[in-house]
Structure 1
Amino acid sequence: MNNTKVYTMSFASVYPHYIQKATKKGRTKEEVDTIIFWLTGYDESSFQDHIANKTDFENFFAQAPQLNPNASKITGVICGYRVEAIEDPLMQKIRYLDKLIDELAKGKTMDKILRK
């Protein structure tokens, strides 16, 4: 898996696609934000700073306050890969987020998505 391209992409350029995927299925931007905050530990203010600064994925996750301890409970296939088997820690975090947004779009409840 060639990861260098996705690492250098700005999170702000992909964020609208997460929102679009969710809203197309009747979910909300607020739910997308809740998922991102849950996974990364960001709050609204620090998150908006990263969006405004067009932080790339590598730095977005490197600067995250704390990856949620329950992130390891995220399992399944996304983009043809089992998220729990991805060896590269950064790619695994990116795919965790992809998987959570995918679950949101598929109609899962927020409690299940947030592994409560």
Structure 2
Amino acid sequence: MNDTITIGYLAKRSGVAASALRFYESRGLIRSVGEPGKTRRFCRDALRRVSFIRAAQTLGLNLQEIGEALARLPQQRTPTVDDWARLSMAWKPLLQARIDALTRLRD
């Protein structure tokens, strides 16, 4: 499994706590590979998926919304530039509604 990384390495590189990564895994946002009961290992592209999750959270999306977007990708594939463009266009009305609500709250 040379092409995999440990949960500790993923946590360190992503800046996300291992407990949060396990939570993401329990929600189906990322997945580990290998045998049950052994150290969690992830494909290297999990780092990009975690970055995607964090970016989406920064935009104000919740994990359910992020999970629904990621579920549209085959085989838990990491989003490509084209995927990101398509997903972000789908989020545009939601984000605009949140911007409008925050603007009203501010004013």
Q: TM-score range by the shorter chain?
A: 0.3 to 0.5
Q: TM-score, normalised by structure 1?
A: 0.34
Between structure 1 and structure 2, the one with the greater Rg is 2
